[in-house]
Each structure stands twice: as structure tokens, then as C-alpha cells.
Structure 1
Amino acid sequence: MLQPTTEQRIQSDAIDAQSVPLAAAALLETQSAAITAVQAVIAEIDRGAQLMAAAIRSGRSLTYAAAGSSGLMALADACELPGTFGIPAHCVHIHMAGGVPTTGQMPGDTEDDAGAADIALRDVMPGDVVIVLSASGTTPYALALAKSGKANGASVIAIANNPETPLLEMADVPICVATPPEVIAGSTRLAAGTGQKVALNLMSSLMGIKLGHVYQGMMVNVVADNAKLIERAIGIVRHIADVSAPVAKAALAQTQGNPKAAILVAKGCSPLVARTLLQRHDGHLGPCLKALEKNKNT
């Protein structure tokens, strides 16, 4: 049987036998190739983003799940969603084989624990989306997660780095990021991990755009819960509403820190009208601003 790409050895001088500049160049080359591999699956990534946006729009949940290095990629993406796009934290769930590590040790045997997947996804329901990652596409824990998610009526998005693998075959949206063999054979934290990270970044960012949480290239649904982000939110309101910093700050105070609503308040409407407009236009700021402008001109 043909060896999976993620387990193949590169037919060249071993990286540990090369000079530091050559070794670094080889590592960087495979990272670049991993990013390029994502280009071939943009359409599939967009389909995944549509499913994710639909789930959040209807109040359902996103569950990221994986083992090992793939789990770390999933964890990084999932944890960014509430802060960056204001996705309710209770709508984002993360499951790693053996649990999220609290030290530098991540047990390897837990990826074979298929039984743990049923427990992890016992609360998944129709309308939810389960995002499962596995570099090999054959990890028992990941396969069991996909099977359990589908059995519970959820949509399954799968990201793997080997084509025609069981995980991809089970998915509603299969995303094969066909990364090259690893410079350090089998170490999927390298090219495979980079490909997964980029694919997840694209998918969740496209989801944020579809939900209306990005406007003029800015994070208009950012959760401003520290000094840096408070200043960022003030800057966003200032730029889009074209007002001074004090006016932007006052608008944010009137809207409990919601940048979208604050922009509308800074443009002259009440917080109640701002909330009503955002509900009417499904959270998209552009149509709300057009409606305000139209009302001014009538």
C-alpha cells in the first residue's frame, strides 16, 4: 500500500546533515509549499465558512476537535473567535484527545481512544457544525468524532493532509490540504500543521465576514476587554463614523462597548435604533449606514 504523504521521507540529504542555512531554507520551503497547498481548496474552505456562519446565525454551536498537533491548531483558531469576531463563547467548543494540555506534555496514546469521541460530542445537535482535523486522515479519535457528529445530526467539516482518506470520505465538507512530505519525516507539526492553521484561519475569517463582523477591513464586532482593544474599538468607531475620539468613546459607553452599535450612535441615532437596525440587517453594518443616510435625506 502507498505510504501516506505525511509519512514519506524526502529523497535528499537529511536535514540534520545540512548546514544551518540550508536546513532553515528546507524547512521554510516546505512551509511555503504548505501555504500554497491551501490555494487548491479555497472553494471547499468557503463552503465550510458558509456552514459555520449559518450555525452561528441560528444560535447553534461550532465544535473543534482533534488529537495531537492538529488539536493545537484547532485550539488556536477556536479560542480567537470570541475576541476577534464577538462569537458567543458558549457557541464555541474545543475537544482534544486527552484534554487540552496544561504542561509541555501531550500524551500520544489518547489519539487511539475512539470511545472518548462519543462522550466529547454527546451534546452536539442538528444545526451544529463539527470541525475535525487529522493530518493522516486516519486517526481513530478523529474518525470517531466525525462519525459521532454525523450521528447526532451535525454537519462535519474535515481537514486532512492526505487525499482519499476515511476522515475526508465521512465529511460533509472535506478539505484536503495536500502538503508535501515533512523535512523531518512524520513531524506533522511542521508543513501539515501550517497548512491546517492557514486553512482554519481562512475559514473562520470568511465566516466572520459572512456574519458582518468585518467592515472596511476592520473588526467591527471585536470584544474590547483590555486597554489595547478598547483603543482599537475607539479607533474603529472614529474611522468609520468620522468622529472625534471623545465622541467615539461616548458612543461605545452608550452601547456597552459594541463597536457596530457605537458607530451608528456616533452617526446620530439612539442606541435603541442602532440595535433595531442591526437586527433588521442581520448584523451587517453597511446596510445600516445606508438606511441612516437615506433617512437623513428624506
Structure 2
Amino acid sequence: MTSLPPPVPHNPPGPLQSELESLTTEAYRSDLADIDRWPTLDIARAMNREDAAVPTAVAAQLPRIAAAIDGIAARMARGGRLVYCGAGTAGRLGVLDASECPPTFNTAPQEVIGLIAGGRPAMTAAVEGAEDSRELAEADLAALGLAERDVVVGVSASGRTPYAVGAVVCARRAGALTVGLSCNADTPLSAAAEHPIEVVVGPELIAGSTRLKAGTAQKLVLNMISTISMIRLGKTYGNLMVDVRASNDKLRARSRRIVSLATGASTEDVERALAAGGGETKNAILALLGGVDAATAARLLTESGGHLRTALHAIRRP
């Protein structure tokens, strides 16, 4: 016969419990108290209604988001790195966003970095206690050799996660630019960061499950941070991702299509330009639109800091 585990001792409410009870992301919705008895379609409708409120909450923070992005792009233009720091869902979202930048924008792996409390194992399983350690965040940033030109974005739904707050405090002490992304108002993370972004989405459908609306809000903001920063850094030409890394058949086909859309050139000319430029989409576009060879295109792109439009203007300038 299997014995039951010993009962969990009941501890009196402490400061942490009181703190959590004050957060909107932890609030209890009494109107959803019997949701487990609802028809599935009604639950889905309720969840959809909740999710629909997230973009509005993000919109309220757009001026702060834009200011943070301008600061991020300025640091990265000087060789700085963008580092996301978070625990649990927030940390995983940061790692996800960072991992998408090399194939989409041809960034080096060390340019956009996602740090999660507990390291790689925490991507798929909880690492107990990791999120509660400011010291762990400091050690992770120290291992990166954090510098003044870098940017650290602390991500935490509650805005109080010690790992995220500790990362921002440590980064600010080092002179790095700091951003705090949370889903509550007036949080310790906001107080620590130069650029606080508070996307207040309200109580979750399942009380305290911040992988829901809060996670969606964080994903939307991280999408903006990385994408618009890359636009500012010249990683796009119009709305074409001209720095795409053609590392597989799908991306090679996309690269050919991007060159075709940007230039209107024939399939044969697109193929020749890509081959001459080593498969680099941006190089091929500049060669075709500017009427220069691949070597000249490469030089002009280097001189323009990788900004295709700037390089084109240099060719067309009388």
C-alpha cells in the first residue's frame, strides 16, 4: 500500500503573500469561480475576450516602448548587446525572442542574448529557487562581461521577481542601459529601470497563471523591441528582411523572393546576383539596384554600417 505524503505545514501569511495579494496579475476573479463547470465553447469565448484586451494595454505603453527602443538601437549601433533576463515564462519568452534574431536579422548569437534563471534546464523544467536569487542574475551577467554599451531588459509579469530585478540593478550599476517590462503598476522592477514598461493586463482567467495575458503582453512587447531595433539598425529595407540568413531551403527561397520584390529583377538576374554576393540578400539587392558588382556592393554596405538605403543613396548621389 502506497503511503500518503506528509501534510504540508500551514505557515502564517508573510510579507511575500501580502505582496502577491496586492498584484493585479495575482487577483482572483469571483465571476469565474465556476468556470470548470462551463461548456467548453463558453470557456473559449471568455478566454478570447480576455486576450482581446491585451493589445489595448500594450498600446497605452507605446511611448515608453518607443523611447526604450531608441535607446536600445543607439547602444547596439555602438556595438552593444541586447540581453533579456527573466525567470519562468518571462525568461523563456526572452530566450525565444533572442533565438529568432540570428535567422531573421542575421545577427551574431552574442548580439541578442536571453538569460533565464536556472540556465538552459529551466527552459523545459522549473529550477527551484532560481528566480528568487539576485546573486544568480549578477553572476550570469558577470559571465557575459557586461559593459556600459550593453542593454539589459528585465522581464517579469509581477515586476518583483528577484532575478529580473537583480539583473537590472546590476546592469545599471555597470552603466548599461536598463529596461523593465512588467504587467503591474509601480513595481520594484520599474523603480530599478531607466525605461519602465508596465503593461497592466489585469487578473488572469486562471488566477495567477501569468503565462496567459501577461505572457501574451510580454511577447508582443518583446516582438516590438527586437523588430523595431533591427529596423533602426538597417536590418530591413522597407518591410523586407534583407539580412535574412539563408540557412535552409525555405530561407533560400525567401531570400530569392526578397531580392525579386526589392528589385523587380528577373529570376536569372536574381540568381546571378545572389551567387556573386555569396548568397547575401542585401548585397544582391544593392548590386542590382545600384548597378555595381558584388565587391563594390560589399564595400558600400560596410561603409554605410549595413544600411542598404544609405548605401543606395551614396551610389545615386550626383
Distance 2:173 2:240 in 1: 38
Structure 1 portions without partners, runs of 5+: none
SS at match of 1:179: coil
Query: Aligned residue pairs: how many?
Result: 295
Contact 2:116/2:122 (CA < 8 Å) preserved in 1?
no
TM-score, normalised by the number of residues in structure 1: 0.93
SS at match of 1:9: coil
2:202 alignment counterpart = 180
> How far did 1:143 drift?
1.2
Higher Cα radius of gyration: 2
Contact 2:159/2:187 (CA < 8 Å) preserved in 1?
yes
Residue number among 285, 293, 297 corresponding to 1:270 in the alignment:
293
- Greater CA deviation, 135-144 or 190-199? 135-144
Distance 2:313 2:30 in 1: 59
1:243 alignment counterpart = 265
Residue number among 12, 26, 37 corresponding to 1:7 in the alignment:
26
2:175 alignment counterpart = 153
Q: Is residue 50 from structure 1 mapped to residue 70 from structure 2 by the alignment?
A: yes
Q: Which has the higher contact order (CA 8 A, sep 6+)?
A: 1
SS at match of 2:205: coil
Map 1:159-238 → 2, pairs under 5 A: 159-238=181-260
> How far did 1:103 drift?
7.2
Distance 2:36 2:230 in 1: 42
Residue number among 45, 60, 63 corresponding to 2:83 in the alignment:
63
SS at match of 1:90: coil
Residue number among 263, 266, 274 corresponding to 1:252 in the alignment:
274
Distance 2:275 2:75 in 1: 30
Contact 1:237/1:263 (CA < 8 Å) preserved in 2?
yes
> How far did 1:278 drift?
2.1
> How far did 1:210 drift?
0.7
> How far did 1:101 drift?
3.1
Distance 1:115 1:286 in 2: 44
- Greater CA deviation, 171-180 or 237-246? 237-246
The residue type paired with residue 136 of structure 1 is S
Residue number among 93, 97, 112 corresponding to 1:77 in the alignment:
97
Structure 1 residues 135 and 207: CA distance shift in structure 2, 3 A: same
Residue number among 268, 282, 285 corresponding to 2:305 in the alignment:
282
Residue number among 118, 121, 127 corresponding to 1:107 in the alignment:
127
* Per-residue Cα deviation, 1:211-247 (whole angstroms, up to 9, x for no partner): 1212231101111111111111111111212212222
Distance 1:257 1:58 in 2: 26
What value does the CA root-mean-square deviation take over the aligned residues?
Answer: 1.7
Contact 1:130/1:149 (CA < 8 Å) preserved in 2?
yes
Structure 2 portions without partners, runs of 5+: 1-17
- Greater CA deviation, 155-164 or 109-118? 109-118
Percent of aligned pairs sharing the same letter: 36
SS at match of 1:121: helix
SS at match of 2:120: coil
